[in-house]
Amino acid sequence: MSGARLTDLVAGLPATVPFVGPEAQQRTSGRTFRARLGANESVFGPSPRAVAAMAAAASDAWMYGDSESHDLRAALAAHHGVTPAHIAVGEGIDGLLGNLVRLVVAPGDRVVTSAGAYPTFNYHVAGFGGDLVRVPFAGVHEDIEALLHAAPGAKLLYLSNPDNPMASWHPAAVIEAMLDRVPDGTLLVLDEAYADFAPAGAIPEINADDPRVIRLRTFSKAHGLAGARVGYAIAAPGLVAAFDRIRNHFGMTRMSQAGALAALHDTGWLAQVVTQVAEGRARLAAIAAENGLAALPSATNFVAIDCGRDGDFARAVLRELIARDVFVRMPGVAPLDRCIRVSVGRPPDLDVFAEVLPQALAAALTQR
- CATH code: domain of residue 338: 3.90.1150.10
Q: How far apart are CA 280 and CA 259, in angstroms?
A: 25
- Is there a contact between 279 and 286 (Cβ–Cβ < 8 Å)? no
Judge whether 14 lies within some domain.
no
Average pLDDT over residues 246-250: 94
pLDDT value at residue 368: 65
Judge whether 4 lies within some domain.
no
pLDDT value at residue 14: 87
Average pLDDT over residues 47-56: 98
Q: How many structural domains compose the chain?
A: 2
In a shared domain, residues 122 and 225: yes
In a shared domain, residues 52 and 184: yes
Q: Tell me which of 250, 265, 280 is where a domain ends.
A: 265
pLDDT value at residue 350: 98
Res 236 pLDDT > 70? yes
Question: Bigger pLDDT: 321 or 3?
Answer: 321
pLDDT (tens digit per residue) in 60-99: 999 999 999 999 999 999 999 999 999 999 999 999 999 9
Judge whether 12 lies within some domain.
no
Judge whether 11 lies within some domain.
no
Judge whether 361 lies within some domain.
yes
Q: Tell me which of 236, 265, 294 is where a domain ends.
A: 265
- Is there a contact between 96 and 248 (Cβ–Cβ < 8 Å)? no
Q: How far apart are CA 368 and CA 359, in angstroms?
A: 15
pLDDT (tens digit per residue) in 269-324: 999 999 999 999 999 999 999 999 999 999 999 999 999 999 999 999 999 999 99
pLDDT value at residue 2: 76
Res 1 pLDDT > 70? no
Q: Tell me which of 265, 297, 328 is where a domain ends.
A: 265
pLDDT value at residue 173: 97
Res 11 pLDDT > 70? yes
Average pLDDT of the chain is 96
pLDDT value at residue 17: 75
**CA trace torsion 13, 16, 19, 24 (10° rounding):** 160
For residue 19, name the pLDDT band (cuts at 50, 70, 90): confident
pLDDT (tens digit per residue) in 118-157: 999 999 999 999 999 999 999 999 999 999 999 999 999 9
Res 159 pLDDT > 70? yes
Its domain, for residue 116, covers: 48-265
pLDDT (tens digit per residue) in 160-210: 999 999 999 999 999 999 999 999 999 999 999 999 999 999 999 999 999
List the single range of 4-18, 31-45, 99-113, 242-256 with lowest mean pLDDT: 4-18
Q: DSSP secondary-structure letter at 48?
A: H
